[in-house]
Structure 1
Amino acid sequence: NMQRNERWFKVSILYCVMLSQLWAFPFSPSLDLDVTPRTTIFHKDFWSCNNGFTGSSQNYSTLLLEEETGRLYVGGRGALYALNTSNISTSANLTIDWNASPEQKKQCLNKGRNNQTECHNHIRFLQRFNETHLYVCGTNAFRPLCVYIDAERFNFSSGFEEGRDRCPYDPAKGFTGLLIGHSDGEMFTASQYEFRSSPDIRRNFPFPTLRTEEAPTRWLLEADFVGSVLLKESINSSIGDDDKIYFFFTERSQEQVAYPSQTKVSRVARVCKNDWGGQRTLQRKWTTFLKARMVCSVPEYELHLNVLRDVFVLQGRDVQSSIFYGVFGLEWKNIKASAICQYAFSDVRRVFEGPYMEVQDSKWREYTGKVPEPRPGSCITDVHRSQGINSSRDLPDSVLTFARRHPLMAKQVHPVDLRPLMFKRSVNYVKIAVHKEPALDENLYTVLFLGTDEGWLHKAVEVDGETHIIEELQIFAKPQPIESMVTSAVQRSIYIGSHSGVIQVPMSACQRYTSCYDCVFARDPFCGWDGRVCVEISSRPQRSNLTQDISRGTRGCKENPGNGPVIHRRRAVMSGDDVLLQCELRSNLATPRWTLNGKELQGYGLSTGYRVGTDGLLIIGARTQQGGSYRCFAVENGVSVLVYLYTVKVHTDPYFPVEPTDSTEPTTISSPVVFSTASPTEQPLPSPPAPLPPGANFQTYRHMEAIYISLVAVLGGLCLVLTVVLLYVSFCTRRESRSRKFSHQNLHVLGSSDRKRSSHLELKTISSHCNGRQGRRSISVPTFGDFNDSFLQIIPGDDQMSPAKTPPPAPPLPNPPPLPNMDYANGLSATLPSVLRKMNGNSYVLLRQADPEGMSPLYHSFTEELNRILEQRKHTQLDMHPDESSI
């Protein structure tokens, strides 16, 4: 027991160390592989520029792209589709309904399977059989069937065949398959085919069928297959070598690993295409099966990503130049992390030609004895034929017996440069597609398209052994895994399948880049700047006037960085107020730089009167000397580009008049909302206007009089509205059976420096039966007390209702008028900073009591406080259509 406890203690310590390394890894000064996407495109901004297809089925998990015919074949749950590759949303698409029969669904239910997910016909295999037909297999509610389809007419052309040996029974089981050759039609698959069987690799036809061995040494142990590929090594072979089929999967570890907490390993296995099994030993079993471990780790931190999620093979002119990319993750479900590793098939072949492993004393160790001839696991070549061995059936029993007991290789397959091409924390990549694109510098760049388990697509480019993520696209509004993905070089599109549908995404969207620097900073091999707009390079036969810099992303733009599109706004604020100057940076890689009257602001802290965050610059307790011209620059790749210009004026009079706003500016200036601390019946009158200069026109006096009369009328009307609202709130709350706490807004009432005068208000929620709207509104009720000369300001925010709390129906109430979209005097616009929208965050209402004589307690960035709150709620499903806030 003591030894067992000690062993578990060491495992726990090791697990904690690995977690700490994983957390600290991206922040290491020596190695930073946690790549940040440059730009983020949300679904609402992205949907207008792509095509989508949704049929009557679900789970569009199988795609077959045929560039020659211009068709994209899609296999879903209970249906097959033939889509037009140029526009998959066209009405000319063809459909075949193929559902499981009611009797078969009933049998599936009797086996204890889920009627919502499992007891349907999920298409798992869809490939071209010959020039006229496709071959399709489906799970058929846990009794697989296969059928031939006439590709031209797109209908069934034969009766159904038993598919138990060709298709998995479970739609969730890993599966891969190949149909090789249109004349002989050999079918190779790998999966778990039956409920009680072990996963294995099979040749389904022609006869004789082959499979992997299970005794005395089990070749595969709980394998989960993700891909396979045929490499034609017989072409131009000087030794008459055979073609080979490679399978990629994750299985439970058989050999001793460095970390006991890791129970799985990633593998690549190989069989020869013309393997026919042995004559006496290994009858109807593979004689050429070999497997090796693939390693994808960060050597400096001994961080091993041991689960293979997907693979993409990029075939070159020969096997030696062919490479493949693997998507790796961790087997711990509560930690998200992904790595992309690149491998060369020449390294894989070198491992298969190395030493073997064998079981010694119940443990796998490297075999050091004599290896029989011809070498076990090798394909038949001219050397074998010269010895009278023309097929695997002619191999000696000693060779087959050795191959039976030694399927595992001792050496491991390491990635190119012995490290991942890219590492991404907090993201689970599940699918990958690779495309080669020529750039202006005449180099051929590798572009990676990576799909996540939440429906995002990352577009990245490999530059000098490193990866730059150009952009991330939110493909689906509702989070869902990307289940399938193929690329079309002809249509310049990516086709993405998921649970809800199929999306066609263009490989490039150069029109998103609005300036030369934006176009060049993107480092997108597809795009270049022509002097006016960012265009796709392939669309321009004349390219001498285009600008592009993939290697650095800095060179080529001759224009002044300050002459680009600039947003100019004016702000008028009261002395002692806190004002937020928003600066939304398009690039996630850019950092803000602020200047005041041409001089850079040095240091941001309590003593300086400034705080800077991701949402902008916060001026704390504005003073007269802090007025002036503020400029926000986006600094990226060492270049500063002006994006925002603010003209800020600080006033000491709370009733300062509104100054006219320049007509070219997008915002207007409004006076602050002032609440009196007196009773509602004793409203103080505004201070009398200053005397007019001599010679003023009598019309001026009448004009000013009308202004003040209007102001008094507005204030009186506001008091009346507030009184009615308070009475109505009181009436509604009496009808409520219980009070509901405000769930998605944080209310902070901050007083002056005297803590006793600060109060925390908890707002009651007014449900929809009180206001007649779907959603909830917040009513801010000030607490009157000894406030001296201070005043209350309301910072508006967007209210979002928790979907888990549905308000009961009730009589309607007229809606209040919507708030105008303008900039308020305290510096916050009617919409929240963009960084909050990017986080799908809930906004909040902030009531603050500002004391001109004291010091405001609001010394922390809005972003820091909001991010802390939103981090606790990031797993909460939010209302995608929030109601507007009210005051």
Structure 2
Amino acid sequence: MISLFGRYAVMKIDWKPPADVIEECLMKGKLKSDCQNYIRVLARQSSGKALICGTHAFSPKCREYVYSSVDGTLKNTRQFDGQGISPYDPRDNSTVVYLPETHEIYTGTVSDFVGNDPLIYRKRIGENDRDNGIRTQRDDARVLDTPNFVGSFVYKEHVYYWYRERAAEAMDNNEERQIYARVARVCRNDKGGARPANERWTSFMKARLNCSLPSATPFYFNELKAVSDPIATSANDHRVYAVFSTPDSDVRMSAVCAFSMKRIREEFDYGTFKQQRTVNSLWVPYNRNEIPRPRPGACVPDSTKLPEATVSFITRTPLMHRAIESVNGPMLIEGSDRADLTQIAVLPHVDSVNGQHYDIIYLGTSDGRVLKLIETVGNTTVIESVTVFSRTIPVVNLLTTPRQLVVVSSDEVATIDVHHCNEPDSCNRCVALQDPHCAWDLTIARCVNRNSWSGGHFIQNIVFGQSEQCPEGIVISEELSDGELLFEEMDLYLFLYI
């Protein structure tokens, strides 16, 4: 475990698979490098405990650790089977939500050695719980078809999952299934159905996510790569930002789209479902009068008492007919001549000098950079591009804190400041950043960050990046008029090499 502030190791836990488990993994044809214990779940529990789960040489295991104040270490208190919680293969994408108040863990992963059993799963893992869990239907491509899980979170009475998968409803010109981006949800109070469906979700629903350039023939970004947590935009809505890409091809492109949680909820709550009546027929919407009552997928006080017709319907046809449209289309597109976008993190509600709130978006790239951008009225502004790693390696995770951004690659971790307000040496350059974090202080003639805005007179223009209030007036230099980023490729040194 690493301190983000002191940049030192706080403590170390050694957890290696036993020799016989490694030997069995090798005997089954896996590489030695894969027959290790890759940690895939790390969650803080109540009472000072920590839940840690790993691949454990293709035999997933979980442990609970408790902090000892005597010697400042974490003590292992129990170990249990991690099937359905951690993936077997360290390369598999998975996602986890842990709720300490109920000791429940929600996962999206693969639950078998060969990787043929993807599932969305919930299990109570309290020490005295004897819960077999609830999962999606096994061996049913209508429910999950080779999913790659990207993220998940709790939102009101549901848990939402974000992933990409082969789409049963879409074929390309070679009659192969296309990959579509999906959002799915389950009810937190789902108890499963009546026997024999008591260990299956009765509330699993999914919909396509549409991130595309609108035209007579839309250009789709179908492959979901990363997703943010929901960010409040009003009293009754939140927004989720996500990274998409086109399939691997000669025209590889990336985009960022935003989605309204209110719109997603409305589609799941009131939209109709998609069906294919025969294997050779087109996919069409159900008529409203064909949908049983109570509504399939809705949260109910006791799902074990749902009618068989409702449970059977949602098991056979969990897909919504209409796609979830993005808010105003892609807010950023990176062409095939640029690195792929790989990760996203959002610092919400940063106040500008005039009190306007902005969501600041950070994007990781496949060549080890971080882009910082904001969305203004009808426009997206890229504030800066920062080279984080000395090697050209993809950013695989981003985490925000109020003052620092944690940037992770496959074998390196770094922290960078969330702003670089001290770099500009003039008012024009400071204002041209269009960064809500930064403003020109007329009193001391410096570009300062928002933590220094306690007094004085500050100049900032987020929308236009120019201000007549600057002492030098508006200066349009060749550097700025060409649209160059002021701090393109700033070199920042990583603090840890694993």
TM-score (norm 2): 0.88
State the Cα distance separating 1:258 from its structure 2 match.
7.5
Mapped contact 2:193–2:306 kept (Cα < 8 A): yes
Aligned to 1:365: 284
State the Cα distance separating 1:217 from its structure 2 match.
6.4
Aligned to 1:253: 167
Q: Is 1:485–2:398 an aligned residue pair?
A: yes
Aligned to 1:355: 272
CA distance in structure 2 between the partners assigned to 1:201 and 1:143 by the alignment: 19
Q: 1:506 aligns with which of 403, 410, 417?
A: 417
State the Cα distance separating 1:149 from its structure 2 match.
1.6
Aligned to 2:178: 263
Give the aligned residue type for 1:468: T
CA distance in structure 1 between the partners assigned to 2:90 and 2:168 by the alignment: 26
Aligned to 1:93: 10
Aligned to 1:541: 454
Q: Is 1:212–2:130 an aligned residue pair?
A: no
For 1:755-797, what per-residue CA distance to the aligned partner results, in whole angstroms no more than 9, with x for missing partners?
xxxxxxxxxxxxxxxxxxxxxxxxxxxxxxxxxxxxxxxxxxx
Q: 1:589 aligns with which of 469, 480, 483?
A: 483
State the Cα distance separating 1:321 from its structure 2 match.
1.3
Higher helix fraction (1 or 2):
1
Q: 2:26 aligns with which of 90, 109, 113?
A: 109
State the Cα distance separating 1:395 from its structure 2 match.
0.7
1:1-400 mapped onto 2 (5 Å cutoff): 81=1, 83-87=2-6, 89-90=7-8, 93-116=10-33, 118-151=34-67, 153-182=72-101, 184-196=102-114, 197-205=116-124, 207-214=131-138, 218-232=142-156, 243-256=157-170, 263-280=178-195, 282-300=197-215, 302-316=218-232, 320-352=236-268, 353-362=270-279, 363=281, 364-368=283-287, 369-380=289-300, 390-400=301-311
Q: Is 1:461–2:371 an aligned residue pair?
A: no
Aligned to 1:558: 470
TM-score (norm 1): 0.50
CA distance in structure 2 between the partners assigned to 1:434 and 1:114 by the alignment: 37
CA distance in structure 2 between the partners assigned to 1:562 and 1:165 by the alignment: 60
State the Cα distance separating 1:156 from its structure 2 match.
3.0
CA distance 1:511–1:586, shift in 2 (3 Å):
farther
CA distance in structure 2 between the partners assigned to 1:359 and 1:280 by the alignment: 27
Aligned to 2:407: 496
CA distance 1:412–1:430, shift in 2 (3 Å):
same
Mapped contact 1:247–1:268 kept (Cα < 8 A): yes
Aligned to 1:444: 357
State the Cα distance separating 1:130 from its structure 2 match.
1.2
Structure having the higher Rg: 1
State the Cα distance separating 1:143 from its structure 2 match.
1.2
1:767-806 mapped onto 2 (5 Å cutoff): none
Q: 1:422 aligns with which of 316, 332, 337?
A: 332
Aligned to 2:432: 521
Aligned to 2:496: none
Partner of 1:93, secondary structure, is coil
CA distance 1:217–1:450, shift in 2 (3 Å):
closer
CA distance 1:320–1:562, shift in 2 (3 Å):
closer
Partner of 1:322, secondary structure, is strand
CA distance 1:457–1:218, shift in 2 (3 Å):
same
Give the aligned residue type for 2:395: I
Mapped contact 2:170–2:178 kept (Cα < 8 A): no
Q: Is 1:476–2:389 an aligned residue pair?
A: yes
State the Cα distance separating 1:166 from its structure 2 match.
1.3
Aligned to 1:405: 316
For 1:626-648, what per-residue CA distance to the aligned partner results, in whole angstroms no more than 9, with x for missing partners?
xxxxxxxxxx9xxxxxxxxxxxx
Mapped contact 1:262–1:331 kept (Cα < 8 A): no
State the Cα distance separating 1:367 from its structure 2 match.
1.5
Give the aligned residue type for 2:454: P
Higher strand fraction (1 or 2):
2
For 1:465-518, what per-residue CA distance to the aligned partner results, in whole angstroms no more than 9, with x for missing partners?
3211111111001111112211112xx111112223211111011111111111
State the Cα distance separating 1:520 from its structure 2 match.
0.6
Partner of 1:519, secondary structure, is helix
Aligned residues: 469
Identity %: 28
Give the aligned residue type for 1:268: V
Partner of 2:310, secondary structure, is helix
Partner of 1:225, secondary structure, is strand
Specify every segment of 5 or more residues in structure 2 that has no aligned partner in the other structure, as ranges. 490-498
Specify every segment of 5 or more residues in structure 1 that has no aligned partner in the other structure, as ranges. 1-80, 233-242, 381-389, 567-582, 592-635, 637-833, 839-887
State the Cα distance separating 1:318 from its structure 2 match.
7.9
CA distance in structure 2 between the partners assigned to 1:261 and 1:342 by the alignment: 28
State the Cα distance separating 1:546 from its structure 2 match.
0.9
CA distance 1:192–1:476, shift in 2 (3 Å):
same
